[in-house]
Amino acid sequence: MSEVSLVVNGRRVSGVAEDRTLLVHFLREHLGLTGTHVGCDTSQCGACVVHVDGKAVKSCTMLAAQASGSTVVTIEGLADGADLHPVQAAFREHHGLQCGFCTPGMIMASVDIINRHPEGLDEATVRAELEGNICRCTGYHNIVKAVLAASKTMAKGKSKAASRAKKAA
């Protein structure tokens, strides 16, 4: 057994887990954060993506004990209170989901993709970057539209924040 201590969605949590417990199971079963889904047992579907220390990780590929000491964000921690994260809002606006099973992982992966491409994104890059996330419903078209739209919204948000900081200085 291992003592697992993490900051999850801004809250310090700890628990004892078997050494073989995967991070996804720790999140879902120990912490009740069932927004992170399990869609395969081959590390292919991406339904389980969360952020560990700011980077997208398939949480079925990491042991809870390995993640101990890290900062984790799950889909439950992405919105700012009642305000959806821009990627969540874009998925809603552009109909980037149907059954919703893949959506938490798709959104967490998309936030990471946008953060890693501050220069902006094009359709080919989004499609290539989302190769590790499988959706059985949408045909991906609206997901790609949503990610491109969110990337623009987030870039605008950053430039507004930068000009506010400049004025304040």
Q: Is 48 in the site for ligand FES (CB under 6 A)?
A: yes
Contact criterion met (CB below 8 Å) for 144 and 104: no
Q: What residue type is assigned to position 93 of the chain?
A: E
Q: Is 137 in the site for ligand FES (CB under 6 A)?
A: yes
Name residues contacting ligand FES, limited to 64-93 (CB under 6 A): none
Among 8, 23, 31, 46, binds ligand FES (CB under 6 A): 46
Query: Minimum Å distance from CB 34 to ligand FES?
Result: 13
Buried b / exposed e over 49-63, threshold 16 CB at 10 Å, is: bbbbeeebbbbbebb
Only one of the segments 9-17, 95-103, 115-123, 152-160 lies at the binding site for ligand FES (rule: CB under 6 A); that segment is: 95-103
Examine residue 101 and tell whether it contacts ligand FES (CB under 6 A).
Answer: yes
Amino acid identity for residue 8 in this structure: V
Q: Tell whether residue 104 is a contact of ligand FES (CB under 6 A).
A: no
| E runs forming strands in the chain | 2-8, 11-17, 49-52, 55-58, 71-73
Task: Find the binder of ligand FES among 50, 60, 107, 108 (CB under 6 A).
Answer: 60
- Does position 63 bind ligand FES by CB under 6 A? no
Residues 6+ apart with CB under 8 A from 96: 90, 103, 106, 138, 142, 143, 145, 146, 147
Binding site for ligand FES (CB under 6 A): 38-40, 43-48, 58, 60, 97-103, 135-138
